[in-house]
Structure 1
Amino acid sequence: MNAILKGRLVGVGTGPGDPELLTLKAARALAEADVVAYFAKRGNNSNARAIVEARFRPDMIELPLLYPVTTEIDKDHDDYRAQISDFYEQSAEQVAEHLGAGRMVAVLSEGDPLFYGSYMHLHVRLAHRFPTEVIPGITAMSGCWSTTGLPIVQGDDVLTVLPGTMSEFELTRRLADTDAAVIMKVGRNLPKIRRALEAAGKLTKAVYVERGTMPGSVSMRLAEKPDDKAPYFAIVLVAGWSARPGAKA
Protein backbone atom coordinates (compact mmCIF):
# COMPACT_ATOMS: atom_id res chain seq x y z
CA MET A 1 0.00 0.00 0.00
CA ASN A 2 1.43 3.37 -0.99
CA ALA A 3 2.04 5.88 1.78
CA ILE A 4 0.01 9.08 1.63
CA LEU A 5 2.21 11.99 0.68
CA LYS A 6 2.28 14.90 3.08
CA GLY A 7 4.08 18.08 2.33
CA ARG A 8 5.49 20.58 4.79
CA LEU A 9 4.14 24.02 5.61
CA VAL A 10 6.71 26.67 6.51
CA GLY A 11 5.82 30.18 7.63
CA VAL A 12 8.76 32.34 6.61
CA GLY A 13 9.38 35.71 8.24
CA THR A 14 10.95 37.96 5.61
CA GLY A 15 11.95 40.68 8.06
CA PRO A 16 11.27 44.42 8.00
CA GLY A 17 12.18 45.14 4.39
CA ASP A 18 15.94 45.08 3.87
CA PRO A 19 16.73 41.78 2.05
CA GLU A 20 20.00 41.54 3.99
CA LEU A 21 18.00 41.16 7.21
CA LEU A 22 16.52 37.85 6.06
CA THR A 23 17.69 35.06 8.38
CA LEU A 24 19.90 32.22 7.18
CA LYS A 25 17.16 29.74 8.07
CA ALA A 26 14.60 31.64 6.00
CA ALA A 27 17.01 31.72 3.06
CA ARG A 28 17.49 27.96 3.32
CA ALA A 29 13.74 27.36 3.41
CA LEU A 30 13.30 29.38 0.23
CA ALA A 31 16.07 27.39 -1.44
CA GLU A 32 14.23 24.16 -0.60
CA ALA A 33 10.60 25.19 -1.18
CA ASP A 34 8.56 23.76 -4.04
CA VAL A 35 5.89 26.44 -3.67
CA VAL A 36 6.10 30.01 -2.38
CA ALA A 37 2.83 31.63 -1.33
CA TYR A 38 2.39 35.28 -0.46
CA PHE A 39 -0.40 37.70 0.36
CA ALA A 40 -1.07 40.89 -1.58
CA LYS A 41 -3.80 43.40 -2.23
CA ARG A 42 -5.42 42.75 -5.59
CA GLY A 43 -3.64 44.86 -8.21
CA ASN A 44 -0.63 45.50 -5.96
CA ASN A 45 2.73 43.82 -5.61
CA SER A 46 3.50 41.79 -2.51
CA ASN A 47 5.98 43.53 -0.21
CA ALA A 48 7.06 40.18 1.23
CA ARG A 49 7.71 38.82 -2.26
CA ALA A 50 9.74 41.90 -3.20
CA ILE A 51 12.03 41.36 -0.21
CA VAL A 52 13.02 37.83 -1.28
CA GLU A 53 12.48 38.00 -5.05
CA ALA A 54 16.19 37.60 -5.76
CA ARG A 55 16.03 34.14 -4.16
CA PHE A 56 13.25 32.81 -6.39
CA ARG A 57 14.09 29.88 -8.68
CA PRO A 58 12.70 29.23 -12.18
CA ASP A 59 11.25 25.88 -11.06
CA MET A 60 9.48 27.36 -8.05
CA ILE A 61 5.68 27.51 -8.10
CA GLU A 62 4.31 30.91 -7.07
CA LEU A 63 0.98 31.07 -5.29
CA PRO A 64 -0.35 34.65 -4.90
CA LEU A 65 -3.12 34.97 -2.31
CA LEU A 66 -5.00 38.15 -3.19
CA TYR A 67 -7.14 39.88 -0.58
CA PRO A 68 -10.69 40.51 -1.80
CA VAL A 69 -10.88 43.59 0.44
CA THR A 70 -8.47 45.57 2.62
CA THR A 71 -9.32 49.06 3.85
CA GLU A 72 -12.31 49.70 1.57
CA ILE A 73 -14.70 48.39 4.23
CA ASP A 74 -14.45 48.95 7.97
CA LYS A 75 -12.84 45.94 9.64
CA ASP A 76 -15.75 45.65 12.08
CA HIS A 77 -18.40 45.55 9.34
CA ASP A 78 -20.14 42.21 8.79
CA ASP A 79 -19.35 42.30 5.05
CA TYR A 80 -15.64 42.68 5.75
CA ARG A 81 -15.60 39.85 8.26
CA ALA A 82 -17.50 37.53 5.94
CA GLN A 83 -15.31 38.25 2.91
CA ILE A 84 -12.02 38.00 4.77
CA SER A 85 -13.04 34.81 6.57
CA ASP A 86 -14.00 33.16 3.27
CA PHE A 87 -10.74 34.36 1.76
CA TYR A 88 -8.62 32.75 4.47
CA GLU A 89 -10.59 29.50 4.19
CA GLN A 90 -10.09 29.41 0.42
CA SER A 91 -6.42 30.36 0.73
CA ALA A 92 -5.84 27.57 3.25
CA GLU A 93 -7.38 25.05 0.87
CA GLN A 94 -5.23 26.30 -2.01
CA VAL A 95 -2.14 25.75 0.12
CA ALA A 96 -3.49 22.41 1.35
CA GLU A 97 -3.75 21.13 -2.23
CA HIS A 98 0.00 21.54 -2.65
CA LEU A 99 0.73 20.11 0.79
CA GLY A 100 -1.46 17.11 0.03
CA ALA A 101 0.57 16.54 -3.12
CA GLY A 102 3.71 16.25 -1.00
CA ARG A 103 5.14 19.68 -1.74
CA MET A 104 6.94 21.99 0.66
CA VAL A 105 5.08 25.30 0.78
CA ALA A 106 6.80 28.41 2.12
CA VAL A 107 4.33 31.15 3.04
CA LEU A 108 5.97 34.56 3.16
CA SER A 109 5.18 37.03 5.89
CA GLU A 110 6.65 40.49 6.35
CA GLY A 111 8.31 40.86 9.72
CA ASP A 112 7.50 37.82 11.85
CA PRO A 113 4.82 35.32 10.75
CA LEU A 114 3.06 35.20 14.12
CA PHE A 115 3.12 38.93 14.85
CA TYR A 116 0.21 40.62 13.05
CA GLY A 117 1.02 38.39 10.06
CA SER A 118 -1.60 37.01 7.66
CA TYR A 119 0.28 33.72 7.72
CA MET A 120 -1.22 32.94 11.11
CA HIS A 121 -4.66 32.58 9.51
CA LEU A 122 -3.27 29.69 7.46
CA HIS A 123 -1.35 28.33 10.43
CA VAL A 124 -4.42 27.84 12.61
CA ARG A 125 -6.24 26.11 9.74
CA LEU A 126 -3.43 23.83 8.56
CA ALA A 127 -0.86 23.20 11.31
CA HIS A 128 -2.92 20.34 12.77
CA ARG A 129 -3.20 18.71 9.34
CA PHE A 130 0.35 18.93 8.02
CA PRO A 131 3.92 19.05 9.36
CA THR A 132 4.55 22.72 10.05
CA GLU A 133 7.44 24.99 10.94
CA VAL A 134 7.52 28.72 11.64
CA ILE A 135 10.72 30.63 10.92
CA PRO A 136 10.80 33.88 12.90
CA GLY A 137 11.73 37.15 11.28
CA ILE A 138 12.94 40.53 12.48
CA THR A 139 9.85 42.60 13.20
CA ALA A 140 9.12 45.92 11.54
CA MET A 141 9.20 47.72 14.87
CA SER A 142 12.67 46.37 15.65
CA GLY A 143 13.87 47.41 12.22
CA CYS A 144 12.42 50.89 12.70
CA TRP A 145 13.90 51.64 16.10
CA SER A 146 17.26 50.31 14.92
CA THR A 147 17.13 52.41 11.74
CA THR A 148 16.44 55.54 13.77
CA GLY A 149 18.93 54.62 16.50
CA LEU A 150 16.22 55.11 19.12
CA PRO A 151 16.70 53.20 22.41
CA ILE A 152 13.16 52.03 23.08
CA VAL A 153 13.06 50.45 26.56
CA GLN A 154 15.39 49.49 29.39
CA GLY A 155 15.21 48.36 32.98
CA ASP A 156 11.61 48.12 34.18
CA ASP A 157 10.11 50.06 31.27
CA VAL A 158 6.85 48.67 29.90
CA LEU A 159 6.46 48.53 26.12
CA THR A 160 2.96 48.51 24.64
CA VAL A 161 2.26 47.60 21.02
CA LEU A 162 -0.90 49.21 19.68
CA PRO A 163 -2.71 48.94 16.34
CA GLY A 164 -3.64 52.38 15.04
CA THR A 165 -7.05 50.99 14.13
CA MET A 166 -8.12 51.12 17.79
CA SER A 167 -10.56 53.78 18.95
CA GLU A 168 -9.10 57.15 19.88
CA PHE A 169 -10.28 56.71 23.46
CA GLU A 170 -8.56 53.34 23.80
CA LEU A 171 -5.35 54.56 22.17
CA THR A 172 -5.23 57.52 24.55
CA ARG A 173 -5.88 55.37 27.61
CA ARG A 174 -3.21 52.83 26.77
CA LEU A 175 -0.64 55.43 25.75
CA ALA A 176 -1.11 57.25 29.04
CA ASP A 177 -0.58 54.00 30.93
CA THR A 178 2.72 52.88 29.40
CA ASP A 179 6.37 53.92 29.40
CA ALA A 180 7.00 53.21 25.72
CA ALA A 181 4.83 52.37 22.75
CA VAL A 182 4.85 51.16 19.18
CA ILE A 183 1.84 52.13 17.09
CA MET A 184 1.38 50.04 13.97
CA LYS A 185 -1.13 50.10 11.09
CA VAL A 186 -0.86 53.87 10.81
CA GLY A 187 -2.12 54.88 7.35
CA ARG A 188 -5.27 56.98 7.46
CA ASN A 189 -5.34 56.58 11.24
CA LEU A 190 -2.51 59.10 11.67
CA PRO A 191 -4.72 62.11 12.61
CA LYS A 192 -6.38 60.02 15.33
CA ILE A 193 -3.01 58.72 16.53
CA ARG A 194 -1.62 62.24 16.71
CA ARG A 195 -4.58 63.40 18.81
CA ALA A 196 -4.30 60.40 21.14
CA LEU A 197 -0.58 61.00 21.68
CA GLU A 198 -1.20 64.65 22.46
CA ALA A 199 -3.98 63.81 24.90
CA ALA A 200 -1.71 61.26 26.61
CA GLY A 201 1.11 63.80 26.88
CA LYS A 202 3.43 61.84 24.60
CA LEU A 203 3.31 63.66 21.26
CA THR A 204 6.68 65.38 21.78
CA LYS A 205 8.33 61.97 22.30
CA ALA A 206 6.74 60.32 19.25
CA VAL A 207 8.87 59.45 16.22
CA TYR A 208 7.27 58.69 12.85
CA VAL A 209 9.00 56.07 10.67
CA GLU A 210 8.05 55.19 7.10
CA ARG A 211 9.62 52.32 5.14
CA GLY A 212 12.11 51.56 7.91
CA THR A 213 15.21 49.61 6.69
CA MET A 214 14.12 50.06 3.05
CA PRO A 215 15.26 52.48 0.35
CA GLY A 216 13.55 55.82 0.78
CA SER A 217 13.15 55.37 4.53
CA VAL A 218 11.82 58.47 6.29
CA SER A 219 11.86 59.28 10.00
CA MET A 220 11.06 62.44 11.95
CA ARG A 221 9.47 63.64 15.15
CA LEU A 222 5.75 63.25 14.63
CA ALA A 223 5.12 66.75 16.02
CA GLU A 224 7.23 68.10 13.13
CA LYS A 225 5.49 66.11 10.39
CA PRO A 226 3.66 68.74 8.31
CA ASP A 227 0.81 66.52 7.08
CA ASP A 228 -1.23 63.48 8.02
CA LYS A 229 -0.35 61.36 4.98
CA ALA A 230 1.06 57.95 5.84
CA PRO A 231 1.14 54.47 4.32
CA TYR A 232 -0.58 51.68 6.23
CA PHE A 233 2.74 50.13 7.25
CA ALA A 234 4.25 53.27 8.75
CA ILE A 235 5.07 53.05 12.46
CA VAL A 236 5.07 55.53 15.32
CA LEU A 237 7.58 54.95 18.13
CA VAL A 238 7.43 56.39 21.63
CA ALA A 239 10.63 55.66 23.55
CA GLY A 240 10.82 54.86 27.23
CA TRP A 241 14.00 55.27 29.31
CA SER A 242 13.09 58.86 30.10
CA ALA A 243 16.22 59.29 32.25
CA ARG A 244 18.64 58.42 29.45
CA PRO A 245 21.28 61.02 28.57
CA GLY A 246 19.96 63.34 25.89
CA ALA A 247 16.33 62.26 26.26
CA LYS A 248 13.73 64.89 25.44
CA ALA A 249 10.50 65.25 27.34
Structure 2
Amino acid sequence: MTSLDSLAGTASAGTLYGIGVGPGDVRYLTLRAAGLVRAVDVVAFFAKKGAQGNARRIVAPLMGEGRTELRLEYPVTDEIPARHPDYQSQIAGFYRESAERLASLLKQGRSIGLIAEGDPFFYGSFMHMWRRLATDFPVEVVPGVTGMSGCWTRANLPITWGDDTLAVLPGTLDETQLVDRLRLTDAAVIMKVGRNLGKVRRAVEAAGLLSRAVYVERGTMQDERILPLAECGEPAGAYFAMILIPGQGRAL
Protein backbone atom coordinates (compact mmCIF):
# COMPACT_ATOMS: atom_id res chain seq x y z
CA MET A 1 0.00 0.00 0.00
CA THR A 2 1.31 3.48 -0.88
CA SER A 3 1.93 5.57 2.24
CA LEU A 4 1.03 9.22 2.69
CA ASP A 5 4.70 10.11 3.10
CA SER A 6 5.71 8.44 -0.17
CA LEU A 7 2.93 10.23 -2.04
CA ALA A 8 3.77 13.61 -0.52
CA GLY A 9 7.54 13.37 -0.91
CA THR A 10 10.19 14.72 1.41
CA ALA A 11 11.48 18.18 2.29
CA SER A 12 14.79 19.35 0.84
CA ALA A 13 17.44 21.11 2.92
CA GLY A 14 17.59 24.89 2.64
CA THR A 15 14.25 25.09 0.84
CA LEU A 16 11.31 27.35 1.63
CA TYR A 17 7.90 25.78 1.11
CA GLY A 18 4.80 27.95 0.84
CA ILE A 19 2.16 25.49 1.98
CA GLY A 20 -1.51 26.19 1.30
CA VAL A 21 -3.49 24.64 4.15
CA GLY A 22 -6.98 25.37 2.84
CA PRO A 23 -9.95 27.29 4.23
CA GLY A 24 -10.16 25.88 7.75
CA ASP A 25 -10.81 22.13 7.88
CA VAL A 26 -7.59 20.10 8.03
CA ARG A 27 -9.18 17.43 5.84
CA TYR A 28 -9.01 19.82 2.88
CA LEU A 29 -5.19 19.79 2.81
CA THR A 30 -3.57 18.15 -0.22
CA LEU A 31 -1.38 15.09 0.30
CA ARG A 32 1.69 17.19 -0.54
CA ALA A 33 0.74 19.87 1.99
CA ALA A 34 0.06 17.40 4.80
CA GLY A 35 3.27 15.50 4.09
CA LEU A 36 5.39 18.65 4.14
CA VAL A 37 3.87 19.92 7.38
CA ARG A 38 5.13 16.69 8.94
CA ALA A 39 8.48 16.64 7.14
CA VAL A 40 9.97 20.16 7.26
CA ASP A 41 12.50 21.14 9.90
CA VAL A 42 10.63 24.32 10.81
CA VAL A 43 6.92 25.12 10.59
CA ALA A 44 6.53 28.90 10.24
CA PHE A 45 3.28 30.84 10.39
CA PHE A 46 1.89 34.37 10.55
CA ALA A 47 -0.36 35.32 13.45
CA LYS A 48 -2.14 38.29 14.94
CA LYS A 49 -1.10 39.49 18.40
CA GLY A 50 -2.78 37.42 21.08
CA ALA A 51 -4.07 34.81 18.61
CA GLN A 52 -2.91 31.33 17.74
CA GLY A 53 -2.89 32.00 14.03
CA ASN A 54 -5.50 30.45 11.77
CA ALA A 55 -3.05 28.50 9.61
CA ARG A 56 -1.41 27.07 12.74
CA ARG A 57 -4.79 26.08 14.14
CA ILE A 58 -5.66 24.25 10.92
CA VAL A 59 -2.55 22.05 10.98
CA ALA A 60 -2.66 21.33 14.72
CA PRO A 61 -3.73 17.68 14.19
CA LEU A 62 -0.58 17.14 12.09
CA MET A 63 1.88 18.64 14.58
CA GLY A 64 3.67 16.21 16.87
CA GLU A 65 5.52 17.09 20.05
CA GLY A 66 8.93 18.68 19.82
CA ARG A 67 8.43 20.33 16.43
CA THR A 68 10.38 23.52 15.78
CA GLU A 69 8.04 26.42 15.07
CA LEU A 70 8.57 30.03 14.01
CA ARG A 71 5.78 32.45 14.87
CA LEU A 72 5.76 35.63 12.78
CA GLU A 73 3.51 38.08 14.64
CA TYR A 74 1.97 41.00 12.78
CA PRO A 75 2.56 44.38 14.44
CA VAL A 76 -0.85 45.50 13.17
CA THR A 77 -3.75 43.92 11.29
CA ASP A 78 -7.08 45.71 10.95
CA GLU A 79 -6.59 48.31 13.69
CA ILE A 80 -5.42 50.84 11.09
CA PRO A 81 -6.73 51.17 7.50
CA ALA A 82 -4.44 49.33 5.08
CA ARG A 83 -3.87 52.49 3.05
CA HIS A 84 -2.71 54.51 6.05
CA PRO A 85 1.04 55.39 5.92
CA ASP A 86 1.57 54.05 9.46
CA TYR A 87 0.13 50.69 8.50
CA GLN A 88 2.22 50.43 5.35
CA SER A 89 5.40 51.43 7.18
CA GLN A 90 4.91 48.92 10.00
CA ILE A 91 3.91 46.06 7.72
CA ALA A 92 6.77 46.69 5.27
CA GLY A 93 9.26 46.60 8.14
CA PHE A 94 7.66 43.46 9.52
CA TYR A 95 7.87 41.64 6.20
CA ARG A 96 11.49 42.68 5.77
CA GLU A 97 12.41 41.40 9.25
CA SER A 98 10.42 38.18 8.74
CA ALA A 99 12.24 37.48 5.48
CA GLU A 100 15.57 38.00 7.25
CA ARG A 101 14.61 35.50 9.95
CA LEU A 102 13.62 32.93 7.34
CA ALA A 103 16.79 33.57 5.32
CA SER A 104 18.94 32.95 8.38
CA LEU A 105 17.40 29.50 8.84
CA LEU A 106 17.60 28.66 5.15
CA LYS A 107 21.32 29.52 5.12
CA GLN A 108 21.75 26.95 7.91
CA GLY A 109 20.27 24.32 5.60
CA ARG A 110 16.93 24.10 7.41
CA SER A 111 13.81 23.31 5.43
CA ILE A 112 10.95 25.67 6.26
CA GLY A 113 7.23 25.21 5.70
CA LEU A 114 5.54 28.61 5.80
CA ILE A 115 1.89 27.67 6.10
CA ALA A 116 -0.85 29.87 4.67
CA GLU A 117 -4.63 29.78 4.90
CA GLY A 118 -6.24 29.02 1.55
CA ASP A 119 -3.73 29.28 -1.29
CA PRO A 120 -0.32 30.98 -0.77
CA PHE A 121 -0.61 33.00 -3.99
CA PHE A 122 -4.13 34.31 -3.30
CA TYR A 123 -4.11 37.38 -1.02
CA GLY A 124 -1.47 35.59 1.05
CA SER A 125 1.29 37.08 3.22
CA PHE A 126 3.53 34.32 1.87
CA MET A 127 3.80 36.28 -1.38
CA HIS A 128 5.79 38.98 0.42
CA MET A 129 8.31 36.33 1.54
CA TRP A 130 8.41 34.78 -1.93
CA ARG A 131 9.19 38.17 -3.49
CA ARG A 132 12.07 38.73 -1.08
CA LEU A 133 13.57 35.23 -0.99
CA ALA A 134 12.85 33.39 -4.27
CA THR A 135 15.89 34.77 -6.06
CA ASP A 136 18.30 33.53 -3.37
CA PHE A 137 16.80 30.24 -2.15
CA PRO A 138 14.90 27.27 -3.58
CA VAL A 139 11.17 27.85 -3.11
CA GLU A 140 8.27 25.48 -3.76
CA VAL A 141 4.67 26.66 -3.58
CA VAL A 142 2.06 24.06 -2.68
CA PRO A 143 -1.41 25.18 -3.81
CA GLY A 144 -4.33 24.96 -1.44
CA VAL A 145 -8.12 25.06 -1.54
CA THR A 146 -9.02 28.76 -1.48
CA GLY A 147 -11.24 30.22 1.19
CA MET A 148 -13.82 31.24 -1.40
CA SER A 149 -13.98 27.71 -2.80
CA GLY A 150 -14.50 26.26 0.65
CA CYS A 151 -17.17 28.87 1.42
CA TRP A 152 -19.28 28.48 -1.71
CA THR A 153 -19.14 24.71 -1.31
CA ARG A 154 -20.29 24.89 2.31
CA ALA A 155 -23.03 27.34 1.29
CA ASN A 156 -24.15 24.86 -1.41
CA LEU A 157 -23.88 27.71 -3.88
CA PRO A 158 -22.72 27.06 -7.47
CA ILE A 159 -20.88 30.27 -8.22
CA THR A 160 -20.61 30.36 -12.04
CA TRP A 161 -22.57 28.83 -14.91
CA GLY A 162 -21.80 28.72 -18.61
CA ASP A 163 -20.26 32.02 -19.72
CA ASP A 164 -20.61 33.80 -16.36
CA THR A 165 -17.75 36.09 -15.41
CA LEU A 166 -16.49 36.10 -11.82
CA ALA A 167 -15.04 39.12 -10.02
CA VAL A 168 -13.05 38.79 -6.79
CA LEU A 169 -13.19 42.11 -4.97
CA PRO A 170 -11.59 43.28 -1.72
CA GLY A 171 -14.06 44.89 0.64
CA THR A 172 -11.49 47.59 1.31
CA LEU A 173 -12.34 49.27 -2.01
CA ASP A 174 -14.27 52.54 -1.93
CA GLU A 175 -18.02 52.09 -1.92
CA THR A 176 -18.40 53.67 -5.36
CA GLN A 177 -15.74 51.35 -6.80
CA LEU A 178 -17.50 48.33 -5.36
CA VAL A 179 -20.81 49.35 -6.89
CA ASP A 180 -19.26 49.98 -10.30
CA ARG A 181 -17.43 46.65 -10.40
CA LEU A 182 -20.38 44.66 -9.12
CA ARG A 183 -22.53 46.05 -11.93
CA LEU A 184 -20.04 44.77 -14.52
CA THR A 185 -19.86 41.13 -13.42
CA ASP A 186 -22.18 38.12 -13.38
CA ALA A 187 -20.88 36.62 -10.14
CA ALA A 188 -18.75 38.01 -7.34
CA VAL A 189 -16.79 37.10 -4.27
CA ILE A 190 -16.10 39.95 -1.85
CA MET A 191 -13.14 39.27 0.42
CA LYS A 192 -11.80 41.22 3.40
CA VAL A 193 -15.27 42.01 4.70
CA GLY A 194 -14.61 42.39 8.44
CA ARG A 195 -15.12 45.98 9.50
CA ASN A 196 -16.21 46.85 5.97
CA LEU A 197 -19.44 44.85 6.22
CA GLY A 198 -21.79 47.86 6.38
CA LYS A 199 -20.17 49.56 3.40
CA VAL A 200 -20.14 46.33 1.39
CA ARG A 201 -23.80 45.63 2.12
CA ARG A 202 -24.76 49.11 0.90
CA ALA A 203 -22.73 48.60 -2.28
CA VAL A 204 -24.31 45.21 -2.98
CA GLU A 205 -27.77 46.68 -2.50
CA ALA A 206 -26.97 49.68 -4.71
CA ALA A 207 -25.82 47.30 -7.45
CA GLY A 208 -29.18 45.48 -7.25
CA LEU A 209 -27.66 42.20 -6.01
CA LEU A 210 -28.77 41.99 -2.39
CA SER A 211 -31.35 39.25 -3.03
CA ARG A 212 -28.62 36.92 -4.35
CA ALA A 213 -25.88 37.73 -1.87
CA VAL A 214 -24.86 35.27 0.84
CA TYR A 215 -22.73 36.05 3.89
CA VAL A 216 -20.30 33.30 4.98
CA GLU A 217 -18.31 33.56 8.18
CA ARG A 218 -15.51 31.11 9.06
CA GLY A 219 -16.46 28.76 6.24
CA THR A 220 -15.54 25.08 6.88
CA MET A 221 -14.60 25.87 10.49
CA GLN A 222 -16.41 24.65 13.60
CA ASP A 223 -18.08 28.02 14.24
CA GLU A 224 -19.18 28.45 10.62
CA ARG A 225 -22.07 30.82 9.94
CA ILE A 226 -23.97 31.13 6.65
CA LEU A 227 -26.98 33.37 5.97
CA PRO A 228 -28.44 35.72 3.35
CA LEU A 229 -26.64 39.07 3.40
CA ALA A 230 -30.03 40.79 3.65
CA GLU A 231 -30.48 39.15 7.07
CA CYS A 232 -27.03 40.13 8.33
CA GLY A 233 -27.68 43.34 10.23
CA GLU A 234 -24.53 43.85 12.28
CA PRO A 235 -22.21 46.74 11.34
CA ALA A 236 -19.07 44.58 11.15
CA GLY A 237 -18.29 40.98 10.31
CA ALA A 238 -15.66 38.50 11.43
CA TYR A 239 -12.10 38.68 10.11
CA PHE A 240 -12.70 35.42 8.23
CA ALA A 241 -15.84 36.43 6.39
CA MET A 242 -16.80 36.93 2.77
CA ILE A 243 -19.83 37.60 0.62
CA LEU A 244 -20.79 35.38 -2.30
CA ILE A 245 -22.98 36.48 -5.20
CA PRO A 246 -23.65 33.56 -7.57
CA GLY A 247 -24.05 33.94 -11.29
CA GLN A 248 -27.32 33.18 -13.06
CA GLY A 249 -26.03 31.88 -16.37
CA ARG A 250 -27.89 29.24 -18.33
CA ALA A 251 -27.91 25.85 -16.58
CA LEU A 252 -28.38 23.04 -19.12
Give 1:57 shift.
2.8
AA in 2 matched with 1:86: G
Whether 1:166 aligns to 2:139 is no
Whether 1:107 aligns to 2:114 is yes
Unaligned runs of 5+ in 1: none
Distance 1:76 1:229, change over 3 A: closer
Give 1:43 shift.
1.2
Tell me the percent identity. Answer: 54
Work out the CA distance in 2 between the residues paired with 1:227 and 1:90.
37
Whether 1:15 aligns to 2:36 is no
Give 1:31 shift.
1.6
AA in 2 matched with 1:191: G
Work out the CA distance in 2 between the residues paired with 1:60 and 1:133.
21
Give 1:59 shift.
3.5
Give the aligned partner of residue 97 of structure 1: 104
Work out the CA distance in 2 between the residues paired with 1:195 and 1:121.
32
Work out the CA distance in 2 between the residues paired with 1:15 and 1:67.
21
Q: For the Cα contact (< 8 Å) 1:6–1:130, is it kept in 2?
A: no
Q: How does 1:182-197 map to 2 (within 5 A)?
A: 182-197=189-204
Structure 1 runs of 4+ with >4 Å offset: 242-245
Number of residues paired by the alignment? 241
Give the aligned partner of residue 31 of structure 1: 38
The Cα RMSD (Å) is: 1.4
Give 1:108 shift.
0.7
Give 1:6 shift.
6.0
AA in 2 matched with 1:153: T
AA in 1 matched with 2:120: P
Give the aligned partner of residue 86 of structure 1: 93
Unaligned runs of 5+ in 2: 1-11
Give 1:243 shift.
4.5
Structure 2 residue matching 1:172: 3-state secondary structure: helix
Structure 2 residue matching 1:165: 3-state secondary structure: coil
Structure 1 length-normalised TM: 0.94
Q: Which moved more, 1:56-65 or 1:44-53?
A: 56-65
Give the aligned partner of residue 247 of structure 2: 240
Structure 2 length-normalised TM: 0.93
